Amino acid sequence: MADATFEAGPNIALVKYWGARDAARVLPNNSSLSVTLDRLRTRTTVRFDPTMRADTFTLDGTIVTGRPLDEVSQFLDRVRALAHNENRASVDSTNNFPTASGLASSASGFAALAGAASTAAGLDLSPRALSSLARQGSGSASRSIFGGFVEWRAGRRADGRDSYSVPLFPEDHWPELVDLVAVVRDAPTKAIRSGVAMQATVATSPGYGQRLAEVPGRLRRMKRAIRDRDPESLFDATIEECDSFRGVCETTVPALNYLTPTSRRLLEAVRAANREAGRTIAAYTHDAGAHVHVFTTRPALPVLNRRMAGVDGVARWITAKPGPGLRSVAGGASTRHRARDGAPV
């Protein structure tokens, strides 16, 4: 028997992955850029056991069956094939943030699973190989292998061997950058899996082609802004990208409306703070869910706090910053852990 425990953080995409050229291989239509967050973590222990007759999966203390278990088993099959290991495995995973609600729990989950399963199976994969492996569980998981600012390169090959993530800037590159994560009260669990939803957008949204044409330029602008630590340029591009993403979602047939009224009030509060300041001091973004990330810098926090304090419907705030990527956890046992609550500081 062999076991390993790894942690990974979710990432929030500043340039979104939304649409695949090959859904089965999880190959995206466009490259994307994200920030891996600290404080929000998934911890996963994998144990291969020759006495087991089937894989098991426990998430946050609950035994999981059905499609989620099937997806984990299919991922483990890839690891077993690489390791020439036919043993079944137990997977025990915990999140310290809401699962399946638009906070990228699948990204951190499959990144942690890639590290724990490959190590428990006796493999010693490079970070690039781990990124490619994690991608096959959840596309955005390829980015959570790395910390800080990360680019997932779409690639061109049909076999996907050139589609993997690379680190751009380390987690300590921009100490003043802050992500205020608004965990929205009563945020619904996603009714449609993101992989299905994004392909519906590709097929039916009239604006998808235009969005796809604009993404490379925004990606270049963001990389320059992060390199130069230029908040206004980064925040302008982040808002533009988020609005583009939301626009194609909401013009999908049937429409993908991920935001709640609270979410929309948060977006307007950021716009109001920027109007008050006379320049772009903050940016909002969100993935396929109701929770909202508000990026700003520490000098701008007083103005932003006043605006955010007046928004009803936020269950809690988590103040995060760029954090580490995948890492091994000593001791082997999976333990429940929780991010500290906080208000914008």
Quick: pLDDT tens for 228-283.
Answer: 999 999 999 999 999 999 999 999 999 999 999 999 999 999 999 999 999 999 99
Angle between helices 301-309 and 261-277 (to 10 degrees): 140
Residue 341 has pLDDT above 50, yes or no: no
Q: Distance between CA 140 and CA 234 in Å, rounded?
A: 21
Task: Say if residue 198 is exposed, middle or buried (CB neighbours under 10 Å; 0-12, 13-18, 19+).
Answer: buried
Distance in Å from the first CA to the final CA of the chain: 46
Residue showing tokens 């006495």: 51
What CATH number labels 177-320? 3.30.70.890
CA distance 340 to 106: 21
Q: Given 3-state DSSP classes, what are the helix, strand and coil percentages for the chain, each rounded to the nearest 5?
A: 35, 25, 40
Q: Which fold has domain 2-170?
A: Ribosomal Protein S5; domain 2 (3.30.230)
pLDDT in tens, 6-40: 999 999 999 999 999 999 999 999 999 999 999 89
Q: Encode pLDDT of 183-211 as tens digits.
A: 999 888 777 888 999 999 999 999 999 99
Q: Where are the alpha helices (DSSP H) in 177-300?
A: 194-204, 208-228, 231-250, 261-277
pLDDT tens digit sequence for 294-323: 999 999 998 898 889 889 999 989 999 999
- Which of 158, 257, 256, 142 is closest to 199 using CA atoms? 256
In this structure, the dihedral spanned by the alpha carbons of residues 284, 289, 290 and 295, taken in order and rounded to 10 degrees, is -20
Domain boundaries, the chain: 2-170, 177-320
